[in-house]
Every structure is written in structure tokens, then in C-alpha cells.
Structure 1
């Protein structure tokens, strides 16, 4: 091949592919600039929102990576590279990885949902998946609880985001319920008066709503009072335990009896 042929071939290549390469470069440069603007705008929106701090950089990175992949596919297509097979291979690989990591991806999706919708936050006391504890940390894949006896519980976010959960910290007040039994034959009015006096003496028990003291059941060996009082959430257990102790001590002083299960055995000769 002589020099003239080489020059002609080079000219044809430049004329055929030159505009495509230049256009692809321009699209890439402009596309990267637009992606930076979009990521910056997304960061501003997330900063103004109530998203969790640990979730913001992850979402920004995922958003930017998705846009860059789409831009790369567009540029390669402009250069004349067939992308159909590549996209099919990428989709098949993604499906295989997704099936292999289905449990992990479920926990990841659950973590994202928890961080976005915030059914609980760090410091809340929750009852979920058979465990009760204070939320110590919310991670992308797991949530860490600290139980009252100082155990660390790690709960996968997948089940936590889709299962039932009780959050004890969302409301400022809670109702304390007691079932207090007195023996048959004791003065019910006296027992009710003693219980009300104990409730009135505890400053932690709120006056509004009013304390409810009613006879709830005529049980096998006792007449049961249902006692319902409202307290601040932080006082719940202190009030509950103190009332049990005070009832036991005061009933004995007032001549009231707290019955316990008994069995009478009759022996016939």
C-alpha cells in the first residue's frame, strides 16, 4: 500500500469517525457537567429534608453512579458500539447477583426505608422481633438494640421494616394498668379508697386523665380491681413497681387481704 492510499484511508476514517468521536467527547464533557449539577441539587434537597445523615451520602453516590452509567452507555452508542448485548449481559449479571444476595438486598432495602420514613430513631425504646430495648444504632443492613440488662441485640432491617413493632417512645404519656385483687368479704369501698389515696399521693401520676378504679372481675379467689392511671413515659416503670409495693404494704395495715390461690382438701373416712 503506497503513501497516497494510506493518506486516503486515514482521511476516510477521520471523515467517518471524527465527527462521532468529537460528538461523543462533547456529550461526555457536557454530561459530566450536568451530572455534577444534578448531584449538587440532589444534595441541597436532601440537606433541606429530614433524611438521616448516614443515608444522604449513600443516596447521592447511588444517584451519581446511575447517571454516569447511563451517560457511558449513551456515549458508547454514539461511537457505533453495539450496546444491546452488553446491556443484556449486564442485566443477567445483575439478576444473578440479586438472587444470590436476596436476603442482603432485602435488609438493605429495609434499612433505606427505616432511615427515610423513621418509624423509630436512636434512643427510642421498641419491641420488635421478640426483643425489647433502646435503639443504639441504625445501620444500612442492621439495627442494634441495647436491652435493659445490657445485652446487644442485632436485628436485620428486612424483617424489622416489614414486621410488627411497638415504639414506646413516640408518645409523651403512657397508661399504667394494674390488676389488684382483694379477698371476698373485704370492704370494697375501703379497698377502692385506699387505692385512690395511694394514687393521689404519687406526684408522678397525672390528674388528667383521671385515675380509673373499677371492679373488673369476680375471680375464683379474689375480687379484682382494674386500676388505670396516666404518667409521663419516663416514669412508667417506676410508678408501676412502686404502686405494687405500696399496695401490698398498705393493704396489710388497713386490714385488707390480698388473696392467693388455695385448695381445700376434704378427707372422708
Structure 2
């Protein structure tokens, strides 16, 4: 009988442990189902907000993993596992890995914030971190831009997030300017009417904001008129609008100037 006592003790311990084990298994299985259900609920809610597909997949995965971790910790606690030490160990490992990969983590976090805030979308024309072009892709690590001269630039999201972003596509209205230099013997009011009148009827030119002009006098005895006009880039691209404006002003002045000298110029436009 003495030889059976250790076995009886083990059986008693096993019987006492069995309810805890069953409870732990039930909690873990419940966490599996709950994590999938909550992840799907979160994904449907985010789809209704028209969030980026990649962001939805990421947040869905985060919800599922978070619920699984919490469920696993609760399950381990049922079988008298040292959960406190386990969590502390995970914290130390997480801190070490996070410190070693802080740049990756920064870009990752910035990517999530960019996808949530959506300061620009794929296809938008933007200027950021010294680069201008069309957004081709937005990932969790980088933003890809096709520059005006055809280069593909991959900018870390950490840089994109902290830099000023100019989104040319958010509002299709853009202001252009054309400068006309003439001798002082011109009738300024007549010249203003000719220049502004030639610009108003171009393709995509808007009535509001109004087309206007500013006069300045140079040290060389010349007078310069700078005309400002607004175009709708959903109807015409900037370069075409500027070229059409230059041609219209030159044609109108040539018809009115007879033999009086004039020059017409406009600043270089990089954005399409």
C-alpha cells in the first residue's frame, strides 16, 4: 500500500488540476472565437468609413492578436502559471526590440496615422519632403511618389508625417500668372483691359476668383503688368492653361500694339 501512495497523491493532484486545465482550455478556445468575431466587427466598421484596405487588414490583425494575448494570459493564470513574470519578460523583450528597430517603428506608426488621417490619396499631386509628384502607393513603411520628371521616389513615412504636405489635388482651383513688360507710352487702362480680356475666355478659366492685374515700374523705364487668373485643373492641366494664356495674351497684344514693343513671360510650372 505504501508503494501506491505516490500514485494516489499524483492522481489527487491531477484531479485537482483537471478543472483548472479545463477552465484554461475553455478560456483559450473562447478567446480564439472572440478574437475572430471582434476582428470581423472592427473590419466591417472600418469599411463603412472607407478606410484604406491595407489599414483595415492591419487593424483587424491587431484586434485579433490583442484579444488572443489577453485570453492566453487569463488561461495561463488558471493553471497557476507565473503570469506576472511572463508579462514582465515580454515587456523587456519588447522594449529591447523596439529600441533596436525605432526607425522601423516610427515609419510604421507614421504609416498608420497617414492612412487614418488621409492628407492625400493615391493619384493626388503633392509636394512633401522636397519632392513633388503624383502619389503612386502608400504602404505602412513608405510613400511612393512619381515625380514630374518620371522618377519613382520612396519617402519614409516618418519623414512624410513630420514635413509640411502640399496637396495640389485637394482643391482643383489653381492660380496662374502672366507678366507683360511694355514701354511707358502705353495706355495702362487699355492694356489691362486687353490682357485680362484675352485671359477670361480660355479653357478652364474661372470667373471666380476674378482675374486681376497689378502694375509695377522697373528701373529700366519699363512698366510691367502681372495678371493673375484662376483655372480649374479638373478641366485643363496647368501647363496647357498657362500656354494657352500666353498665346492669347501675345495674340491680343500683337493685334493692338502695332509696332510698340512688348514682352510676355510666365514662371516655370513643374506641377502637372
- TM (normalized to structure 1)? 0.87
Note the 1:122-141 alignment, pairs <5 A: 122-141=122-141
Residues 183 and 259, structure 1, Cα contact 8 Å, conserved in 2: no
* 1:6-28 deviation per Cα after TM superposition (whole angstroms, max 9, x unaligned): 33212321243122112111212
5+ long unaligned stretches in structure 1: 261-269
CA contact (8 A) 2:108 2:140 kept: yes
Q: State the partner residue of 2:121.
A: 121
Q: Tell me whether 118-127 or 246-255 shows the greater mean CA deviation.
A: 246-255
Aligned to 2:218: 219
Q: Any idea what the Cα deviations from partners look like across 1:15-54, whole Å, max 9, x if unmatched?
A: 4312211211121222222222212211221221221012
How much has 1:187 moved relative to structure 2?
Answer: 2.7
Residues 142, 155 of structure 1: 8 Å contact kept: yes
Number of aligned residue pairs? 259
Once residues 201 and 43 of structure 1 are traced to their aligned partners in structure 2, the CA distance between those partners, rounded to angstroms, is: 50
Paired with 1:256 and 1:140, the residues of 2 have a C-alpha distance of: 60
Q: Distance in 2 between matches of 1:124 and 1:78?
A: 53
Cα RMSD of the aligned pairs, angstroms, is 2.2
Structure 2: distance between partners of 1:41 and 1:204:
45
Distance 2:25 2:201 in 1: 81
Distance, in Å, in 1 between the alignment partners of 2:19 and 2:36 is 26
User: Against the structure 1 CA distance between its residues 42 and 204, is the aligned structure 2 distance closer, same or farther, given a 3 Å change threshold?
Assistant: closer
- Three-state SS of the structure 1 residue aligned to 2:7 is helix
Report what 1:247 is aligned to. Answer: 249
| Contact 1:145 1:152 survives alignment (8 Å) | yes
Q: Within 5 A, what are the aligned runs for 1:56-205?
A: 56-205=56-205
Does 2:245 match 1:257? no
How do 1:27-46 and structure 2 match up within 5 A? 27-46=27-46
Aligned to 1:267: none
